[in-house]
Structure 1
Amino acid sequence: MTPVLFFVKLLLAVPVAIVLSLTAIWYIWESDNTILYESFAQRMFSGIESYGLLAIPLFMLTGELMNEGGMTRRLINAARVFVGGFRGGLAYINLLANMFMAAIVGSAAAQIAVMSRAMVPAMEKEGYDRGFAAATTAAGGLLAPVIPPSMLFVIFGVLAQIPIGNMFLAGIIPGLILSACFAGVIALIGLRQQFPKGEWMVAREARRAVLYALPAMLIPAAIIGGIIGGIATPTESAAVASVVAFLLGWLLYRELKPAKLFEMFKRTALNAALIIFMIAAANVFGWVIIYEALPQRLAELITTITQNPFVFLLIVNLALLFVGMLIDGIAAIILVTPILLPIAIDSYGISPYQFGVVISLNLVLGLLTPPVGVGLYIASAMSETPTGRILGALWPFLLAVTGVLILLSYFPALSTALID
């Protein structure tokens, strides 16, 4: 009865956190276990009693401060210096700016919203198809879950009980590979459609653009450098980044007004609270799953099909593609990690870092695929472009992501090299 209730509530679009909580309560009621009843609130609280989770609201706040302080616009202008003169230069600028933003915002949906407003009108003005411009921007949002800091990595690290800093390191090489593949897609499409040729900035303009953006570039450099160098934890790096973003926007760029801080704090608190509540509810749900020995039962089933770790990851990828189409990436990773991670580690000897990178990239694909496709609809709304038109131009990027997923599944070293 409990599984039926779970899927019915999901199909009725009940918020995932409520679904997880009510399913756990229903199971406890059916089991008539008073000890589970008495421990329910304690288990919810213990699910969020993690220092690492503080990184989530802090990275969200950093993104808000950078957008409000004019740093996003300056990063886009700096990207023009490096790739603006190539054929299809504005598409490469879009991609490079998305790389900068991925190292700050950490949320694919937020990144797609910000970049769609900034890049799609500019690309259309220079002669690019609006559908391709929106598709390139939406695809760039897929860099957010693999280029650190990543919100999905923070959540996975907490659920898997592994160092979040190491999880960030695991995403660097996959993020660069994915960026290179996207650049290849843009180059091939550009040759076929003869994109407009960009113009290189004159030396004076280039120096000014880089100089103005240099302080903003220091924020992702400080985040990643602090973590890699062992100087700060991800949470401490996020706190420093938010302070630096505020000071730059207020004192240097003079576009951030202290009067707007309350609204930014409010938006950050509301968005972070949704995620934290899901994690708390998932802790109880995961507790029920472990109590029922579901991972062990599923492991017995899957190991009868294959003993090969690569084949196992292919099966997981295929299953999660469908999960990601129906459930938001954050909710999905909270749901599947307690079930699949023990199988990956115990039955197949897969590194938790490789597994985390693979499922994070896989699940975020759901942002751009119907029927849910939140990122697709965000890009459509922000760019005023029909979703069908975006999807028509998006498929080469989705094929590139599929290829990268297969590579990451076959070669563990792509995720673990910087950790080992």
Structure 2
Amino acid sequence: MITSLFFLAVMFLGVPIGVCLCLSGMVYILDTNAPVLFESFASQMFGGVDSYGLIAIPLFILIGEIMGSGGITRRLVDMAMAFVGSVRGGLAYVNILANMMVSSIIGSATAQVAIMSKIMVPEMEKQGYDKTFAAGVTVYGGMLGPIIPPSVMFVVYAVLAQVAVGDMLTAGILPGIVLTLLFFVVIAIMGLIYNYPRSEKRSLRERARTAITASPTLLIPIVIVGSILGGLANATEAAAVGAVAAALVGRYITREFRYSMVPAILLRSAIYSAIVLFLVAAAAVFSWLLIYGKVPQAAAEWIQTVAKDPVSFLLITNVILLVIGTVIDGIPGLIMTVPILLPIATDVYHIDPRHFGVVVVVNLVLGLMSPPVGLSFFVAAAVTGAKPGKMFVVTLPFFLICCVALVLLSLFPSLSLALLN
């Protein structure tokens, strides 16, 4: 109890979540009068990041930084606009479709929202869309970032759950496609109701020219995802090749990436990677102390009194994670919940850990779009000037369809496991 109160107190004071976890662990050791655990504290933290799979994280972050600097994102948006921009609500479709393509390179929801808000929202405003709606659609498009590979959250989950990183990245492909199609349905219905504008229709020659210009940028996701699905490389190796491909495309095809940018790109990548990896190290200590305190066993006993089968367990988990995700960012949410819930899911209800991982990640990402925090809305607000609360209200149908997607993922494991099987 003392440890829980201390953790909540320092978290609401604004202390970074990784520091919260480490300090709470020390308080727990003192509270249980087990100072011998201090001797293993540092080794547990080091062991948490002593994993080959985690090398993929800084590499995926590096790919996103190179892509943003090399003009690759803008060309992907142009290609999406050429093919679906002329239908009613076309730029909203373009927003989601471009986010889907960019997701296969960036892998971070907040980073993707920041990048795409700068590109899409001004263009949608010019075409007559409400700025609040444009920013809100961009936020939900950014939700695809941690789901469609590569995904930093899937890499962290794979390490926490001790499953193959490549399996987790593959498991996110179909859910990402399903979510994209559901977003299209929402846009189609809202487009009819609110009479969204159409963009100017492009000729077949213009579409072909745009596709030819942008097609080399598709080499990056093809190299990353194709090498993993084809068994040619694991996730870490694919990320390394993807980083080289991004640099070559940016330097010799788009011609916007310059070698003088490398020091700044490496610095930004290193800072963000250090933050993520410190969270993983803190998670190792947190998980170790949870097991020592038999917290998973106690949670399992309580959940079994409520959930009688795997589906009911997943639905209860969805509610719990959605509440947690509204106040805590995605990766810290993984760190706090996976050590407790995963053993229950696999040992008690015999749920495939990869399927469970997809449900958890989608749920926590949805928390980024949920009040009272809604971090992604605040990121979009900072870039566009739209009001976060109004964004949530205007795009409420997208939130509801995400909840439907979560139920579908919970009921049908094949949505996550089909490509693996």
Q: TM-score range by the shorter chain?
A: over 0.9
AA aligned opposite 1:315: I
| C-alpha contact (below 8 Å) 2:54/2:156 kept by paired residues | yes
Q: Separation in 1 of the partners of 2:419 and 2:258?
A: 40
CA shift digits 1:333-374 (9 cap, x unpaired): 111000100001111111111111111011111212233222
Q: Separation in 2 of the partners of 1:388 and 1:321?
A: 18
Q: Separation in 1 of the partners of 2:98 and 2:113?
A: 11
Q: Separation in 1 of the partners of 2:151 and 2:178?
A: 16
Query: What does residue 159 of structure 1 align with?
Result: 160
AA aligned opposite 2:328: I
Choose 79-88 or 186-195, whichever is displaced more: 79-88
| C-alpha contact (below 8 Å) 2:118/2:384 kept by paired residues | yes
**SS of the residue aligned with 2:201?**
coil
CA shift digits 1:46-100 (9 cap, x unpaired): 0000111111111111111111100000000011122122111111111110000
Query: What does residue 269 of structure 2 align with?
Result: 268
Q: Separation in 2 of the partners of 1:407 and 1:328?
A: 23
The percent identity for this pair of structures is: 48
| C-alpha contact (below 8 Å) 2:307/2:316 kept by paired residues | no
How far residue 6 of structure 1 moved from its aligned partner, in angstroms, is: 1.3
Matches within 5 A, 1:230-245: 230-245=231-246
Q: Separation in 2 of the partners of 1:34 and 1:22?
A: 14
Query: What does residue 315 of structure 2 align with?
Result: 314
AA aligned opposite 1:268: S
Query: What does residue 78 of structure 1 align with?
Result: 79
Q: Does 1:375 align with 2:353?
A: no
Q: Separation in 2 of the partners of 1:233 and 1:201?
A: 40
**SS of the residue aligned with 1:32?**
coil
Query: What does residue 113 of structure 1 align with?
Result: 114
CA shift digits 1:191-211 (9 cap, x unpaired): 011111223322222122111
Backbone CA RMSD of aligned residues: 1.1
| C-alpha contact (below 8 Å) 1:86/1:199 kept by paired residues | no
CA shift digits 1:195-248 (9 cap, x unpaired): 112233222221221111111111011111000001011111111111111111
Q: Separation in 2 of the partners of 1:40 and 1:384?
A: 44
Scaled by the length of structure 2, what TM-score is found?
A: 0.98
Q: Separation in 2 of the partners of 1:282 and 1:129?
A: 42
AA aligned opposite 1:405: L
Q: Separation in 2 of the partners of 1:57 and 1:371?
A: 30
Query: What does residue 150 of structure 1 align with?
Result: 151
How far residue 411 of structure 1 moved from its aligned partner, in angstroms, is: 1.0
Q: Separation in 2 of the partners of 1:6 and 1:178?
A: 35
| C-alpha contact (below 8 Å) 1:167/1:353 kept by paired residues | yes
Alignment size in residue pairs = 420
Q: Separation in 2 of the partners of 1:31 and 1:133?
A: 52
How far residue 31 of structure 1 moved from its aligned partner, in angstroms, is: 3.0
How far residue 34 of structure 1 moved from its aligned partner, in angstroms, is: 4.2
CA shift digits 1:154-186 (9 cap, x unpaired): 100010000011111111111111000000000
AA aligned opposite 1:86: V
Query: What does residue 225 of structure 1 align with?
Result: 226
Query: What does residue 88 of structure 1 align with?
Result: 89
| C-alpha contact (below 8 Å) 2:381/2:387 kept by paired residues | yes
Matches within 5 A, 1:51-66: 51-66=52-67
| C-alpha contact (below 8 Å) 2:127/2:199 kept by paired residues | no
Query: What does residue 37 of structure 2 align with?
Result: 36
Query: What does residue 98 of structure 1 align with?
Result: 99
AA aligned opposite 1:152: M
Structure 1 unmatched ranges of 5 or more: none
| C-alpha contact (below 8 Å) 2:346/2:352 kept by paired residues | yes
AA aligned opposite 1:26: V
| C-alpha contact (below 8 Å) 2:219/2:245 kept by paired residues | no
How far residue 252 of structure 1 moved from its aligned partner, in angstroms, is: 2.1
AA aligned opposite 2:29: I
Matches within 5 A, 1:331-370: 331-370=332-371
**SS of the residue aligned with 1:370?**
coil
AA aligned opposite 2:19: I
Q: Separation in 2 of the partners of 1:212 and 1:29?
A: 62
Structure 2 unmatched ranges of 5 or more: none
Q: Separation in 2 of the partners of 1:82 and 1:290?
A: 53
Query: What does residue 278 of structure 2 align with?
Result: 277
How far residue 306 of structure 1 moved from its aligned partner, in angstroms, is: 2.1
AA aligned opposite 2:140: A
Q: Does 1:23 align with 2:24?
A: yes
Q: Separation in 1 of the partners of 2:328 and 2:300?
A: 23
| C-alpha contact (below 8 Å) 1:102/1:141 kept by paired residues | yes
CA shift digits 1:120-160 (9 cap, x unpaired): 00001001111111111111011112211111111000100
How far residue 38 of structure 1 moved from its aligned partner, in angstroms, is: 1.1
| C-alpha contact (below 8 Å) 2:113/2:379 kept by paired residues | yes
Query: What does residue 296 of structure 1 align with?
Result: 297
Query: What does residue 199 of structure 1 align with?
Result: 200
Query: What does residue 398 of structure 1 align with?
Result: 399
AA aligned opposite 1:366: G
